[in-house]
């Protein structure tokens, strides 16, 4: 079994749109194979998480499918990008384990291979 951590920094604009789509497809593939995958939205990715959580978004279905693997969203970044209220309303966990940010070291401590998008 693989232990993978996908960390999404991209926005849904330009090439980031396809990068996030492929990252979510990869998370879905890993989950279906029984691998241990976690997805963290960090930096500008916090804005993407807020958008993907909206039922009207065209990738919402895929997002919902991988949602059990979503570790959470960086709290500091959600505030910085002005999407904290949307993240909270969507019920996504806010990560604060590294001085208000999402800890990446914690992922290493779990024995995960980190892949950034």
The CATH number that applies at residue 9 is 3.40.1260.10
Tell me the mean pLDDT in the region 4-10. 99
Domain region containing 33: 3-116
pTM, entire model? 0.96
Paired residues of 39 in beta bridges: 6, 70
The pLDDT confidence band at residue 82, using thresholds 50, 70 and 90, is very high
The pLDDT value recorded for residue 67 is: 98
Structural domain total, the chain: 1
Q: How many CA atoms lie within 13 A of 31 on its CB side?
A: 18
The pLDDT value recorded for residue 92 is: 99
> Do β-strands 3-8 and 113-116 pair in parallel, antiparallel, or remain unpaired?
parallel
């Amino acid at each position: 079994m693989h232990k993978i951590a996908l960390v999404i920094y991209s926005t849904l604009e330009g090439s980031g749109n396809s990068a996030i789509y492929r990252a979510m497809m990869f998370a879905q593939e890993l989950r279906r194979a029984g691998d241990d995958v976690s997805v963290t939205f960090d930096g500008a990715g916090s804005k993407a998480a807020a958008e993907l959580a909206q039922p009207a978004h065209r990738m919402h279905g895929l997002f919902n499918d991988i949602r059990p693997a979503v570790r959470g969203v960086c709290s500091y970044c959600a505030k910085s990008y002005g999407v904290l209220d949307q993240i909270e309303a969507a019920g996504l966990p806010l990560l604060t384990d590294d001085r208000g940010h999402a800890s990446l070291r914690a992922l290493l401590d779990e024995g995960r291979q980190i892949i950034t998008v």
